[in-house]
Amino acid sequence: MKILVVGRGGREHSIVKKLKENKQIQKIYVAPGNAGMEEDAECISIDEMNIEDLVSFVKEAAVDLTIVGPENSLNAGIANRFQTENLTIFAPTQEASWLEGSKSYAKDFMKKYAIPTASYGVFQDADEAKKHVAEMGAPIVIKADGLAAGKGVIVAMTEEEAYQAIDDMLICKAFDQAGSTIVIEAYLEGAEFSLMAFVHEDKVYPMMAARDYKRAYDNDEGPNTGGMGAFAPIPDLTKEAYQFSVEQILKKTAEGMMSEGRSFTGILYAGLILTKYGPKVIEFNTRFGDPETQVVLPLLKNDLVQVIQDVLEKKEPNLEWHEEACVGVVLASKGYPGTYKIGERVPKFDDKKDTYIIHAGTKKDNESLVSDSGRVLLVGGRAETLSEAARKVYAQLDQVELKNNFYYRSDIAK
């Protein structure tokens, strides 16, 4: 088989590494990929948003299966275009991707199908939004309606912070068109977790749950990022809460999408919070989560291609998991998620047993690897326990000289 992975970040590198376990795969392509992936796949210089060129490449290279990572490609309709050419792709259509592409649509959908989530309001006028905040009080959550690379969410602990977030999104256009409509939600308390599933129409095959860390700094301080680290499994997640999340959230969502004429195929991701009233949805993604994928896929025993083929054929994939723990810590550019420099030389890590490096934003400068984005790479580790996996990861990170160019959280899985 020949496989194409669309995307350029850590999630896609993790998918590529999982695919490499299958020795029957003749060729793994990644478009556009990054310099750190070149040892694991052939990078094709086609942008993930250049759908026509991707279609042409898949035809010319006789690619058997395409797996899509980034949300922008999904919302641009890559799956629809591939389907018109009868090309096999594991990804939701543009219509199904709207579950992530519009938070207001997702909230209305959850309300319609009685899927547990926070109460909310949708606003385009700043004065009306501020009036709502004044009535609700703080803490309160302000979200850009559209895609904002995981950074369009402000958890405002005071009304003044909420007013500032409203002004930033609706008046200053901090997230361009993605913030021209905002969703204001009630603040929920509890432990967060992420649950992904392979989905085809009304068939849902859940993965192991993971927990990621959105805040930039230790002790969950600082601004929201795309994710600074993750671990799996989650010791404090009960079987009952997991099963409720599968039955009352993931399965109801898949069935609801079919009822809406937006039948879902691909990876459905639920960002959840365990409140005193049970699990509730914070957000949906319509693709593998990042960085959760980097700690979930290494624990999957099954061959990924076989799982996808089974799911597409509505066969039970019988997912099996290693009885181990996995921890991943992101190395980010200093200043991320705000202003940061690129082109900084990336530290070299020694190859060690049970640790691995996932490249998220690296490029070549002559023969050196340098940073090319806010999140540069992830150091992951596997072990029998979470504490041992975390120890292995931090032993790797602590050995490198960061020179004030990069930073990482020191409390992931601790």
Burial letters for 249-283: b for 16+ Cβ neighbours within 10 Å, e otherwise? bbbbbbebbeebebbbbbbbbbbbbbeeebbbbbb
Cβ contact 58:44 at 8 Å: no
Concatenating the DSSP letter of every residue in 190-207 gives SEEEEEEEEEETTEEEE-
How many angstroms separate the Cα of 166 from the Cα of each of 135, 169, 239?
A: 15, 5, 39
pLDDT the model gives residue 228: 98
Residues 220 and 280 in one domain: yes
CA dihedral 295, 361, 181, 288 (to 10 degrees): -30
pLDDT the model gives residue 364: 94
Cβ contact 88:64 at 8 Å: yes
- Asked, for residue 73, whether it belongs to a domain, the answer is yes
Question: Which CATH number belongs to the domain containing residue 247 in this structure?
Answer: 3.30.470.20
Name the domain boundary from 186, 218, 244: 186
How many angstroms separate the Cα of 161 from the Cα of each of 82, 141, 149, 185?
A: 44, 10, 21, 14
**What's the one-letter identity of residue 185?**
E
**Tell me: the pLDDT tens digits for 361-375?**
999 998 899 999 999
Residues 181 and 142 in one domain: yes
Strands (E), 290-413: 325-333, 355-359, 362-365, 368-371, 375-383, 406-407
- Asked, for residue 412, whether it belongs to a domain, the answer is no
Cβ contact 290:226 at 8 Å: yes
Cis amide bond preceding 233, omega within 30? yes
Residue 393 three-state SS? helix
Residues 214 and 273 in one domain: yes
Instruction: Tell which residue, 30, 60, 35, has the closest CA to residue 47.
Output: 30
**What's the one-letter identity of residue 7?**
G
- Asked, for residue 100, whether it belongs to a domain, the answer is no
Distance separating alpha carbons of residues 204 and 276, to the nearest angstrom: 26
pLDDT the model gives residue 323: 97
Distance separating alpha carbons of residues 188 and 281, to the nearest angstrom: 10
Distance separating alpha carbons of residues 228 and 360, to the nearest angstrom: 12
**What's the one-letter identity of residue 29?**
Y
Backbone angles phi, psi at 158, to 5 degrees: -130, 160
- Asked, for residue 104, whether it belongs to a domain, the answer is no
Residues 182 and 197 in one domain: no
Instruction: Tell which residue, 108, 118, 109, has the closest CA to residue 142.
Output: 118
- Asked, for residue 306, whether it belongs to a domain, the answer is yes
Distance separating alpha carbons of residues 9 and 138, to the nearest angstrom: 35
- Positions of the chain with pLDDT lower than 70, given as ranges: 351
Distance separating alpha carbons of residues 350 and 396, to the nearest angstrom: 8
Q: How many domains, in total, are found in the chain?
A: 4
Residues 195 and 181 in one domain: no
The structure tokens listed for 282 are 């914070």
Residue 321 three-state SS? strand
Residues 204 and 291 in one domain: yes
Name the domain boundary from 148, 169, 186: 186
- Asked, for residue 111, whether it belongs to a domain, the answer is no
Residues 34 and 63 in one domain: yes
Q: Which domain holds residue 147?
A: 119-186
Residues 180 and 200 in one domain: no
Residues 337 and 250 in one domain: no
pLDDT the model gives residue 67: 98
Residue 384 three-state SS? coil
**Tell me: the pLDDT tens digits for 35-64?**
999 999 999 999 999 999 999 999 999 999
Distance separating alpha carbons of residues 37 and 8, to the nearest angstrom: 9
Cβ contact 33:44 at 8 Å: yes
Cβ contact 232:208 at 8 Å: yes
pLDDT the model gives residue 55: 98
- Asked, for residue 221, whether it belongs to a domain, the answer is yes
Cβ contact 4:66 at 8 Å: yes
Question: Which CATH number belongs to the domain containing residue 368 in this structure?
Answer: 3.90.600.10
Residues 400 and 337 in one domain: yes
Name the domain boundary from 259, 283, 312: 312
Residues 343 and 394 in one domain: yes
Task: Say what angle helices 251-259 and 94-101 make with each other, to 10 degrees.
Answer: 130
Residues 195 and 182 in one domain: no
Question: Which CATH number belongs to the domain containing residue 60 in this structure?
Answer: 3.40.50.20
pLDDT the model gives residue 255: 98
pLDDT the model gives residue 45: 97
Backbone angles phi, psi at 371, to 5 degrees: -70, 145
- Asked, for residue 133, whether it belongs to a domain, the answer is yes
Instruction: Tell which residue, 299, 285, 361, has the closest CA to residue 327.
Output: 299
pLDDT the model gives residue 178: 83
Cβ contact 74:91 at 8 Å: yes
Distance separating alpha carbons of residues 149 and 147, to the nearest angstrom: 6
Question: Which CATH number belongs to the domain containing residue 136 in this structure?
Answer: 3.30.1490.20
Could you tell me which residues come within 8 angstroms of residue 28 by beta carbon, excluding any fewer than 6 positions away? 2, 3, 5, 16, 19, 20, 40, 41, 42
pLDDT the model gives residue 73: 97
**Residue whose structure tokens are 């079987």:** 239
Report the predicted TM-score, pTM, of the whole model to 2 decimal places: 0.94
